[in-house]
Amino acid sequence: MVPNSHFTRRTLMQAAAGLAVSGLAPRAVWAQERKVKPAPDMPEPKYIDTNGIRMAVYEQGEGVPVVLCHGFPELAFSWRHQVKGLSEAGFRAIAPDQRGYGLTGGPEDVSTYDLTHLCDDLAGMLDALEIDKAVFCGHDWGGGVVWSMVRLHPDRCLGVIGVNTPCQRPPGMPAVTPSEPSLIVMSPNYYVNQFQKPGRAEAVLEKDVRKTFKMTLTRGDIWNVDKFKELPADSPERQLNLLAMLERDTFRGEAFLPEEVFDYFVETFEVTGFTGGLNWYRNIGRMGQVFADAKWEIDVPCLYVGAEHDVILRPSSADGMEDFIEDLEKYTVKDCGHWTQQEKPEELNRVMIDWLKRKVSV
């Protein structure tokens, strides 16, 4: 899960900058050596050498390329519905297991998981696939990557789709007060803070991987705005103290994934662990350095898709994006939590395909 955008881009970034980023992960995360299975119901993956890693890429269809970037704790497999839907609609769907995840894995050095590396991975992937430009679509942390891609590699972008994740406001531009206050009670227990120290979150997340996904990949409970508001301010839920929540034996969230889909996530992360994805969080403090020379104005068509019950990335977190994106459309998926492309795949496909055909189809 990507951090709340307002805390990440403002207060949280300054706090995270003071946290030491260790150069040593608890263990290597090279997945190819650890018997990760290819995702079911997906095309056969191909392997591409890019930016010092061997990236697993699932690709299907012909036409305008659409690169699908997953979040935490997810995989290219999270886009299985969109790979099928986009390819059938006349687009070339490309979904990589990104650095540190699944069949791709990644190096031990924590500093190689910043947004520069993550975006350079995708630029190198385009080179290997002989693609000049693509539409970049990202969910959760993948949304952070694609909004960074249009600023760090604007010459490679035909357009951007952010699913749940809004775009960072340019520095120096007057702040916008969101139309609704954040529901999260910030404290040292906030999960992003807990993820900083190598090994701390791994010890909890990897103790029982099935239990970890049983809590996170759900709808309702913590992914319901009305229920979330009713919880006490000092509760682990309101503080998003995910590690404390995982210490419980029962969860109230509703499972919505088929058992075989759920099993693939569990089996994959039982092999790879969570270190690769956690390392993305451990580079939050370096964002200012990454964007020092970025192109802040965005002049390609953009689509933001929010979800009504995402308590971390509220649809209101996209307020003010019109100030720096000339061609922007917004859409909110009703009765949906954080895992939009898996929870409401048909609706998301419809919205994406309609936008793509109007804005970038050639």
Task: List the catalytic residues.
Answer: 140, 281, 338
Q: What is the pTM of this model?
A: 0.93
**pLDDT on residue 288:** 81
State yes or no: pLDDT of 268 exceeds 60.
yes
Rg (CA), the chain: 19
**pLDDT on residue 362:** 59
Residues 156/65, Cβ–Cβ less than 8 Å: no
- Separation CA 294–CA 296 (nearest Å): 6
Name the least confident of 107-111, 135-139, 357-361.
Answer: 357-361
Q: Is 308 left (phi over 0), alpha (psi -120 to 50) or beta?
A: alpha
State yes or no: pLDDT of 11 exceeds 80.
no
Q: What confidence tens digit (pLDDT) does each residue in 301-360 have?
A: 999 999 999 999 999 999 999 999 999 999 999 999 999 999 999 999 999 999 999 999
Q: Before 198, cis peptide (omega within 30)?
A: no
- Separation CA 304–CA 238 (nearest Å): 25
Name the least confident of 242-256, 261-275, 326-340.
Answer: 242-256
Name the least confident of 2-16, 46-60, 133-147, 321-335.
Answer: 2-16
State yes or no: pLDDT of 155 exceeds 70.
yes
Q: What is the chain's mean pLDDT, rounded? A: 91
**pLDDT on residue 310:** 97
Antiparallel, parallel or unpaired: β 91-96 and 134-139? unpaired
Domain architecture of the chain: domains with CATH: 5-181+284-359 (3.40.50.1820)
**pLDDT on residue 4:** 66
**Percent of the chain whose pLDDT exceeds 70:** 91
**pLDDT on residue 122:** 98
State yes or no: pLDDT of 21 exceeds 50.
no
The sign of the torsion formed by the CA atoms of 244, 12, 159, 163 equals positive
What mean pLDDT comes out for the span 277-292?
91
The token duo for 191 is 């999960």
**Residue 20's pLDDT band (boundaries 50, 70, 90)?**
very low
